[in-house]
Structure 1
Amino acid sequence: MTDAEVPRQPNTFALWREVDDTRIRTRLGGFFYVLAWLLTWVFSAAPGSLMVSGVLGCTVFVVLLAARLLHRPDGLDSPEQLQCWLDRHWGLILLTSLCWGQAHALAVYSDAYNDSEMIATLATVAFATAMTFNFAMRRGRALLALALLYLPGLTVMALNWQQKHAMLITLTFYLGYLILVLGRNHREYRATLDLELKLLEQQSQLDLLSRTDSLTQLGNRYQFNNLFPSLVANAVRQGEPLSLVLMDIDFFKKVNDEHGHAGGDACLSAFAERMRKVFRRDADALLRLGGEEFGVLLPGTTLAQAWDLAEHFRQELETEGLMLAGQRLELTTSLGVGCFSSSHDGDADAFFKRVDGALYRAKREGRNRLVAADH
């Protein structure tokens, strides 16, 4: 996945990270189960006489290897899908562990495998060690996998205590060590994941700050430049209307001159708050484009609907003004409005210029008015 595809929601990111780690760490593991059983069979006392168990074991582990490789986490984007993939893939891991545990028990139990019993035992130790270090993200499931790998062979050794007690005791102590290490690795994995989540949160906050005007808390010009072309492209693709309202505060320099820059900042903040009360749908994107110029992107909104909202905003501002330091400030705004048209707008820039032209006509014609963009 690219950085753009990494999920930003904490719960989804945690599952995505676990899926990605599991996919990478399990990719080649199945091959070594095949190889370990093949060596156990080939180096037994009489491989030819063990053809049935040898071929059957190879077939089982080859099928499990293929199942691992084919079970890819492609196109997963929701927590439910990610969790489902993890559950199924862990099912393959546990099934492989169960099969190898039985294979090891067979090698320890059958005299026919005496010459290669040590190969199977060493492979069990290797698989259990790999499980401890590679799959500590799910401690409970990893413990179950260790039990499936280890306990069948240990059970057979316990039944043959007189001959196998030294190996049984050694493997039991090593199993205890693996359980302790698994707990430590699990805590380290969770700590690393928590750190990644904190970094993701900081990155999201920085991204929000880079896209937000610090004074008005509206989207800034950078946000507009990123959002506007994508909304235009989506409107073309979906065949839905997209309207744009551009507005300038009339004679804003006079506000700064009479109330100072602090008063001007308070005016801008109050103007933005008034915008939020009128353009309040979740899909509406409210932006400060610079200075005293503002804009509103209205997806799924016709020109008539955008006109009504913009005119309502203009009339309300003219009638009520803004409250500044406990006093009413008379204020008006000039507005331009337009709806994207494939026949008149070749791209997002052409659409913006058309609406921007309407805004300047409103200012030239006396301000405090709304003008629709030419078709």
Structure 2
Amino acid sequence: MQDTRTRTRLGGFYYLLAWLLCWLFGTAPTQQLAVGLGGLAFFALLLAARLLHRPPEAGDEAELQRWLDRHWGVILLSSLGWGLAHAWVLLTPDLQPSSLIATLATVAFSTAMAFNFAMRRRRAALGILLLYLPGLTALALGNEGTRAELVTLACYLSYLILALNRSHREYEAMLALELQLLEQRQRLDTLSRTDVLTQLGNRYQFNNLFPAMCANAGRHGGQLSLLLMDIDFFKRINDQHGHSVGDDCLRAFGERMREFFRRDSDALLRLGGEEFGVLMPDTSLEQARQLAELFREDLANRGLQLGDRQLPLTASLGVGTFDPSLDGGAEAFFKRVDDALYRAKTLGRDRLELSRA
């Protein structure tokens, strides 16, 4: 849609200009006044239709397709209009001096159609035929002096069809490459924001997301709760069972988080090592505390299932809710909750502490 819109902006003006030149360079423009002004009005109307027919700012695929169909209707009507204008020039004695202008314009318009509108091959081919066939018919009905011009234009028409096919393949290849690059960029962006081991958000995502969510909560008065968690004695797991079991433990911990914090708005994160976090927008301190306590109790009761091995596990948790009157910004809020987590660890671990003012 964007390509079609961009490539049709100037075309309508040159149809208008070509007809003006054909009319003015005829032998008696005043005698063809009605035809001349009628042609100018017709092509001016099509020019206005091109410029004023703006694409929708948003819409589903069906709506965009309807816009394309209507815009192509204007393009094809312009092609048909010029094809008939070319034939009229060739068949009208008063316009004979302008026949070269009309023929060259037909060649130019059809060439532009083949190379600029290859994204819709069949419609572009129809546009070329609408530009060409009326003039070729007029030449075929003329005297033998026009045979050379007829044959030359017919040969050039065959070249245009071949060029259109090639341009279409090149356009499709360009689109495929652009889509491939876009998908690669999206994958890289996802990888840059995702912890490889747990598939949770990573510290980079947290550093981008957390300040923005705090600023939004401060502006609009919404509630934003933050839960920070540390797996208790994780170094002991690595030392006793090996780092592969430690990695399995981190993955299973991330899965357990997904079981409890399942809202689409919640952001689940691995902040580094054995430290995890959950950002919970539109969540009060009491709601966040209840969810966090349920998570802590379930982890303490069930531990983690690592294949055939049941691994006992606990975690220390700190919970807080953003308060613009207490927190100058995201950094101060994070420190409050981090201090709560530190208290939970120093007071015996496997417990939850609320952040203090």
Same fold (TM over 0.5): yes
CA distance in structure 2 between the partners assigned to 1:274 and 1:99 by the alignment = 68
| Residues 118-142 of structure 1, C-alpha deviations (whole Å, 9 max, x = no match) | 1111101110001001110010111
Query: Does 2:235 match 1:253?
Result: yes
2:56·2:64 contact (CA, 8 Å) conserved in 1? no
Alignment length (residue pairs)? 357
Task: Give the 5 Å matches for 1:78-89.
Answer: 78-89=60-71
CA distance in structure 1 between the partners assigned to 2:293 and 2:276 by the alignment = 15
CA distance in structure 2 between the partners assigned to 1:237 and 1:197 by the alignment = 37
Residue among 27, 37, 56 paired with 2:38: 56
CA distance in structure 1 between the partners assigned to 2:327 and 2:65 by the alignment = 45
Letter in 2 for 1:294: F
2:114·2:164 contact (CA, 8 Å) conserved in 1? yes
Residue among 84, 91, 98 paired with 1:102: 84
Which residue of structure 2 aligns with residue 281 of structure 1?
A: 263
| Residues 99-127 of structure 1, C-alpha deviations (whole Å, 9 max, x = no match) | 21221122122111111011111101110
CA distance 1:29–1:188, change in 2 (3 Å): same
CA deviation after TM superposition for structure 1 residue 27, in Å = 2.3
Identity of aligned residues (%): 63
Q: Which moved more, 1:105-114 or 1:361-370?
A: 361-370
Which residue of structure 2 aligns with residue 318 of structure 1?
A: 300
Which residue of structure 1 aligns with residue 197 of structure 2?
A: 215
Q: CA RMSD in A?
A: 2.2
Query: Does 2:134 match 1:158?
Result: no
Which residue of structure 1 aligns with residue 96 of structure 2?
A: 114
Q: Which moved more, 1:21-30 or 1:100-109?
A: 21-30
Which residue of structure 2 aligns with residue 14 of structure 1?
A: none
CA deviation after TM superposition for structure 1 residue 294, in Å = 0.4
CA distance in structure 2 between the partners assigned to 1:338 and 1:88 by the alignment = 56
Structure 1 regions of 5+ residues with no counterpart? 1-18
CA distance 1:306–1:40, change in 2 (3 Å): same
- Indicate the SS of the match to 1:288: strand
CA distance 1:141–1:239, change in 2 (3 Å): farther
Query: Does 2:355 match 1:373?
Result: yes
Which residue of structure 1 aligns with residue 187 of structure 2?
A: 205
CA deviation after TM superposition for structure 1 residue 242, in Å = 2.7
- Indicate the SS of the match to 2:278: strand
- Indicate the SS of the match to 1:335: strand
CA distance in structure 1 between the partners assigned to 2:111 and 2:80 by the alignment = 16
CA deviation after TM superposition for structure 1 residue 239, in Å = 4.9
Q: TM-score, normalised by structure 2?
A: 0.92
Task: Give the 5 Å matches for 1:1-375.
Answer: 19-73=1-55, 75-76=57-58, 78-160=60-142, 162-236=144-218, 239-324=221-306, 326-375=308-357
Q: Which moved more, 1:121-130 or 1:153-162?
A: 153-162
Letter in 1 for 2:263: R
Letter in 2 for 1:125: V
CA distance 1:245–1:204, change in 2 (3 Å): same
2:12·2:47 contact (CA, 8 Å) conserved in 1? yes
CA distance in structure 2 between the partners assigned to 1:345 and 1:154 by the alignment = 79
Q: Which moved more, 1:277-286 or 1:184-193?
A: 277-286
CA deviation after TM superposition for structure 1 residue 293, in Å = 0.6
CA distance 1:300–1:80, change in 2 (3 Å): farther
| Residues 28-59 of structure 1, C-alpha deviations (whole Å, 9 max, x = no match) | 22221122111111111111222222222223
Which residue of structure 2 aligns with residue 3 of structure 1?
A: none
